[in-house]
């Protein structure tokens, strides 16, 4: 078997005979990177896998509800960063989500453009699924 170079760390390694297409060396960090990329690809390409992962994470969180509060308590820098990031997401959501108001009837109207369409939480959809949609206004009708 010929020597080759690890995709993650770039070090030379000898692939195992049982894995002739091996692209990562045996270092734990490189194997973690390999699994991380595999999972990322799988989550993007397999909606069932993604759905299972989301459900498993929710179930785990439910069973271990004390975990995150303990984690936040023991990692104040994480909690602070998280608060700041969430504030940013909230601000973005409140400005991006509100369409301009039509002065004549107080109803929101939309301009042509790209929008993100996501299912409401609590309807059994995976939280992470969102569609990018192009909306073209054909006509406005005042009811
Ligand atoms: Zn490596």
Distance (Å) from CA 3 to ligand 1 centroid: 13
Residues 40 and 51 in one domain: no
From the list 94, 92, 104, 86, the residue with the least C-alpha distance to 142 is 104
Cβ-contact 121, 127 below 8 angstroms: yes
Distance (Å) from CA 13 to ligand 1 centroid: 8
Residues 90 and 105 in one domain: no
pLDDT digits (tens, 9 = 90+) for 119-143: 776 666 556 677 888 877 777 665 5
Distance (Å) from CA 29 to ligand 1 centroid: 7
Angle among Cα 35, 83, 39 to the nearest 5 degrees reads 10
pLDDT digits (tens, 9 = 90+) for 48-73: 999 999 999 999 999 998 998 899 99
Residues 105-117 as b/e (b if ≥16 CB within 10 A, e otherwise) read eeeeeeeeeebee
Structural domains counted in the chain: 3
Which domain covers residue 137, as residue numbers? Answer: 100-143
């Amino acid at each position: 078997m010929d020597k080759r170079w690890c995709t993650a760390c770039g070090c030379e390694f000898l692939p195992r005979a049982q894995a002739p297409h091996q692209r990562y060396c045996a270092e734990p960090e490189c194997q973690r990177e390999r699994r991380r990329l595999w999972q990322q690809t799988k989550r993007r390409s397999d909606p069932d896998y993604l759905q299972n992962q989301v459900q498993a994470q929710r179930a785990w969180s439910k069973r271990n509800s004390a975990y995150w509060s303990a984690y936040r308590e023991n990692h104040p820098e994480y909690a602070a960063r998280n608060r700041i990031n969430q504030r940013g997401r909230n601000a973005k959501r409140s400005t991006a989500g509100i369409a301009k108001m039509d002065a004549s009837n107080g109803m929101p109207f939309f301009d042509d453009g790209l929008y993100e369409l996501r299912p409401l939480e609590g309807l059994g959809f995976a939280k992470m699924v969102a569609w990018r949609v192009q909306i073209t206004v054909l006509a406005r009708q005042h009811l």
